[in-house]
Chain A
Amino acid sequence: MKVKITVNGMLYNKHIPNDMMLLEFLRKYGYVSVKRGCDTSNCGLCTVWVEGKPVLSCSYPAARADGKQITTLEGVKEEAASFGRYMTAQGAEQCGYCSPGFIMAVLAMRRELTDPTEEEISQYLAGNLCRCSGYAGQTRALRAWLKDKPWEKEGQA
């Protein structure tokens, strides 16, 4: 089938197989930040945004993205790098394989929730698995980032 999918502002006018998932579509066109960690929508590694809302691209048919705006980590590079520095300051990225999906969820959470409690943060991010870190380092990175609010300073600049 034919679809028009916009990824990070770039329009892709493509023929795709009907059963293609958004994850495969994105990786095919070079968005390698999008990782697959499972086959059952349980790990969160493939998190991207559709119209600004986080989805699991492994189970989101590319056909459904027709006419929609998709954002991957590559599309929010600077903001991701800014939060990424909080992660690396803790060593919390470890193998890094879950980092892009996790960061996409974190940046979406920041847009969605104002001054979230620790409980709300934990619930929001519960679907993003990490096998290396035990999450404590991620939590320290999140706290420091939410306290510093670098996006406000970056916004002013």
Chain B
Amino acid sequence: MKLKFVNQPIPKLDGAALTGGKGVYTEDMVPRDCLVVQVLRSPHAFARIKSIRKDAASRVPGISCILTWEDVPQIRYTLAGQSYPEPSPYDRYILERVVRYVGDPVAIVAGRDKDCVAKAMGMIQVKYDLLNPVLDFEQALDHPSVIHPEEDYFHHYDIGGNPSRNLVASGSDAHGDVESALEACDVVVEGTYYTKANAQAMMETFRTYTYLDHNRRLNVVSSTQVPFHCRRTIAHALGLPKGMVRVVKPRIGGGFGAKQTLVSELFPALVTLRTGKPAKIVYTRKESFQASNSRHQMRVHVKVGAMQDGTIKAVDMHALSNAGAYGEHASTTIGLVGHKSIPLYARQADFRFSWDVVYTNTMAAGAFRGYGATQGCFAMESAINELAVKLNMDPAQLRLKNLPQVGETMPAYYNEPLTSCALPQCIRRGMELIGWQEKYPCVKVDDHRVRGIGMAVTMQGSGISAVDTGAVTIKLNDDGYYTLMIGATDMGTGCDTILAQMAAEILDCPMERITVDGVDTDHSPFDTGSYASSTTYVTGTAVVKACTQLKEQIAAEGARRLNIHPERAEFDGDKVYDRTHPETSITLCKLAQSLVAGVGPQWLTATASHCSPTSPPPFMAGFAEVEVDLETGETKVVDYVGVVDCGTVVNKNLARVQAEGGIAQGIGMALLEDINYDPKGQMVNSTFMQYKIPCRTDLPEIRVDFEESYEPNGPFGAKSIGEVVINTPSPAIAHAVYNATGVRVHSLPITAEKILMGRED
């Protein structure tokens, strides 16, 4: 089938509005008389509130309400935007008498403007009993300080946690006998790798405004990736019936997973409920850094064994993850560490993957693009690169020898079958583009500068198997145009556009005839939200199903109007006609008009849901070329090549930019980004001045290419693109640094200091 819209570089539907600076984001829509809400936060990492005096603060002119732990519902909940029943423990109150990290909310202050709120915030007197904080995640398990001793701590099902030991979750997964397999190997490498907490640092910080509508329902307009999870959690945490909450998602200024956790929603919601007035909260950048969520900091220990010919026979991995003060996404991110890294090498291997996730008195971690797979990729791929050295094999060849083959079942990937994979082609193409033959392992530039190259491969998933669900409704309106209603959340990635491309392809009409509507929980079809690389694959399939149904309905209704047998009716996008007498036809426009009103109306809509039993992995091979100054350790990435297999590329431009952006974030993680705390638990880098994300001059011109496989279970053969692209930079850059200097950096970020100190050893 020749595709007209899918696989084309179609500009984003909202591109003109976004580049034109239109008021389409949450803060642009706030009503004028909105209360300003701010949160007074704990200056201590672990403390019990002895007393709060707010009487003087309440008298500040303009102050509408000040809420403390005594004023909020005592209902445990999780902020994680996950399908119900959430795997994350219910370990939060909106405000609690115990504060568990610097930034934990202590009081919610609402007033007519920011000045009166700021004044009142300064006048609230809080006395704390300080507790001994747990700041080092390697010391957290069985630490004398227990972070969550509360009696009403709740989880829906066992995730191997034990809060009295500061353990959020633990578990293991094994296939075969890894100990014996390791013993039988010719060569074994072993290493411990550290990845840091990183900030998602989307350009639009967290923000929400709320109001009561004419039915006294709570309306929440928020910059979120998960409107339906938001609705459910807000209703639960506030003790409201779900029917009393409506969530609307306007345009979003980036999320990268940060907005898969509720962050700002509950504060104005509570104020609106208490005051009856509209309320808004807009997080400062500092607040976004200090009091939201980040990537999970991890320590990953890997042991890989192989035979002399390079056949990998054993993988043993243990991961320790830092959940921070609350357990959002704790048990799920840790799973991906092994489940998205080991399958690439488990074809002929026995393996074991075990994990522990611990609480500490630092900011809670959450979802960040890659979601554990990124951390696992750094450890696993670094180990594979070390194995190649020990085997005296080319690292690319070592991978090509071990990769899973299409048609096989992957025991380390939930026993799912591999239905599409172009990773070998990605590796070969990447080698060509980076100049592997000429440059591997390194080239001397002058007496103190060396260029090294390195590589890594990775996989992600396409949605969460048997969990992520997308529903879509497509309507035929009068005049023959369509409304595509989705619950998936475009957060800048362009899913509104690529889903419309799929609809246009099936309905055989120009893109202009499709209006995309989303997301408003009152009228959008249910969707679990945009995360876990699910939208293209899961919601995309729902689009294909719904549009195919509508197309059949149009043909059937056309046949009725034409008085012909339905089997003779053909719909070509513009008209329904009789296949045997093409001159007998009715235009879509006319048909649509007759369907909406008049005698025998039959307004046509089709709704379809989709949930996939499997999560076909997209793949990527990443290649880095770095230049290291041997005198200073300064390292610059001078070239980065990423070759991606995301199945059929639905939109070449948008997929390319996603890949380039993911690689850029990955380079930031590899070289620059590192959330740090002082000895008292205060985050020290909570501005763009101290937490540096890559700017234009920090990056090479990232080069991306595609090797398209065809995924039989995906819409038009597509898999996902969103997350797989962030994983390779850390291990590939570490490898390139090793090839340039002989120094193996096992802890991120890879700094000049670590390289120089490594050279001295």
Name the distance in Å between A59's Cβ and chain B's nearest Cβ.
Answer: 12
Which residues of B are at the interface with A, using a C-beta cutoff of 8 A? 9, 11-12, 14-23, 25, 28, 115, 200-205, 251-254, 256, 284-286, 491-494, 651, 653-654, 656-658, 660-665, 687-689, 693-697, 699, 701-704
* Nearest opposing residue in chain A for B654, CB measure: A91
B78 to chain A, nearest CB (A): 26
Q: Roughly how many angstroms separate A72 CA and B23 CA in the complex, as a whole number?
A: 14
12 A-B pairs whose Cβ atoms sit less than 8 Å apart in the complex: A74-B21, A88-B12, A88-B19, A90-B653, A96-B17, A99-B19, A123-B697, A131-B202, A131-B661, A134-B657, A136-B657, A136-B701
Complex contact A129–B21 (CB within 8 A): no
Contacts of A43 in B (CB 8 A): 203, 285, 688
Find chain A residues with CB under 8 A from B286 CB. 39
Stretch in A61-69, A76-84, A146-154 touching the partner: A76-84
Give Cα A125–Cα B697 distance, bound, in whole angstroms: 9
Max chain A C-beta neighbours (<10 A), residue from B491, B656, B689, B694: B656
Any chain B CB within 8 A of the CB of A139? yes
Alpha-carbon separation in the docked complex, A98 to B661 (Å): 14
Assess the A132–B661 pair: CB atoms within 8 A. yes
Among B19, B285, B658, the residue within 8 A (CB) of A40 is B285
Closest 6 CB pairs of A and B: A33-B21, A95-B492, A96-B18, A134-B664, A97-B253, A84-B19
CB distance from A131 to the nearest CB of B (A): 5
- The interface residues of chain A lying within 8 Å CB-to-CB of B665 are 131, 134
**Distance, CA A75 to CA B662, complexed state (A):** 33
The verdict on A60 contacting chain B, using a C-beta distance below 8 Å, is: no
Most B-side CB within 10 Å, residue of A85, A95, A96, A134: A134
For residue A24, which residue of chain B has the nearest CB?
Answer: B114
When distances are taken between beta carbons in the complex, the residues of chain A under 8 Å from B14 are: 96
User: B15 touching A88 by the CB < 8 A rule?
Assistant: yes
- C-alpha gap A152/B205 in the complex (Å): 38
Closest CB in chain A relative to B454 CB, distance in Å? 19
Complex alpha-carbon distance, A17 and B699, angstroms: 41
Interface of B is mostly: loop
Cα–Cα distance between A127 and B704 once the two chains are bound (Å): 25
Of residues 14 to 42 in A, which have CB atoms within 8 Å of B's CB atoms? 17, 32-35, 37-40, 42
Determine whether the beta carbon of A126 is less than 8 Å from that of B11: no
Q: Is A113 an interface residue (CB 8 A)?
A: no
User: Residue B203 contacts which of A74, A90, A97 (CB distance < 8 angstroms)?
Assistant: A97
A129 close to B687 (CB less than 8 A): no
Q: Are B695 and A127 in contact (CB under 8 A)?
A: yes
B residues near A145, Cβ cutoff 8 Å: none
Cβ–Cβ contact B12 & A126, under 8 A:
no
Contact of A95 among B17, B20, B202, B696 (CB under 8 A): B202
- The smallest C-beta distance from B687 to any residue of chain A, in angstroms, reads 5
| Given A91-B494, A95-B252, A97-B254, A81 and B657 contact (CB-CB distance below 8 Å) | no
> Smallest CB-CB separation from B9: which chain A residue?
A91
> Is A95 within 8 A of B491, CB to CB?
yes
A139 to B14, CA, bound (A): 21
- Contacts of A32 on B, CB cut-off 8 Å? 21-23, 28
In the bound assembly, the distance between CA atoms of A6 and B9 in angstroms comes to 41
Query: How near does chain A come to B347, taking the closest CB pair, in angstroms?
Result: 33
Which residues of chain B are within 8 angstroms of A77 by Cβ–Cβ distance? 20
* CB-CB nearest in chain B for A32: B23
Residue of A nearest to B491 (CB): A95
Given contacts A42-B687, A84-B16, contact A94 B701 (CB under 8 A): no
Assuming the contacts A87-B19, A94-B493, asked whether A130 and B203 have C-beta atoms less than 8 A apart, the reply is yes
A5 within 8 A of B: no
Contact flag A97-B19 (CB < 8 Å), given A39-B687, A129-B693, A131-B661: no
A132/B697 contact (C-beta < 8 A), A91-B494, A97-B204, A103-B19 known: no
Chain B residues with Cβ below 8 Å from A13 are none
**Chain B residue at minimal CB-CB distance from A40:** B687
Q: Kindly list chain A residues whose C-beta atoms are within 8 Å of the C-beta of B701.
A: 136, 139
Minimum CB–CB distance from B81 to chain A (whole Å) comes to: 18
A72 to B, closest residue via Cβ: B21
Known: A38-B687, A95-B254, A131-B665. A88 touches B21 (CB 8 A): no
Question: Chain B nearest CB: distance from A120 CB in Å?
Answer: 11
Q: Chain B residues with Cβ under 8 A from A131's Cβ?
A: 200-203, 254, 256, 661, 665, 693
CA distance A75 to B329 in the complex (A): 45
Say whether B688 contacts A94, CB under 8 Å.
no
Interchain nearest-CB distance for B615 vs A (Å): 24
In the docked arrangement, what's the CA distance between A20 and B9, Å? 44
In the complex, are the beta carbons of A134 and B203 less than 8 A apart? Answer: no
8 Å CB interface, A83-126 against B: 83-85, 87-100, 103, 122-123, 125-126
How far does the Cβ of A61 sit from chain B's closest Cβ, in whole Å? 16
Most buried by A among B256, B491, B688, B689: B688
In the assembled complex, the CB of B374 is this many whole angstroms from the nearest CB of chain A, namely 16
Is A73's beta carbon under 8 Å from chain B? yes
By the criterion CB–CB under 8 Å, are B657 and A137 in contact?
Answer: yes
> How near does chain B come to A19, taking the closest CB pair, in angstroms?
9
Q: Are A129 and B688 in contact (CB under 8 A)?
A: yes
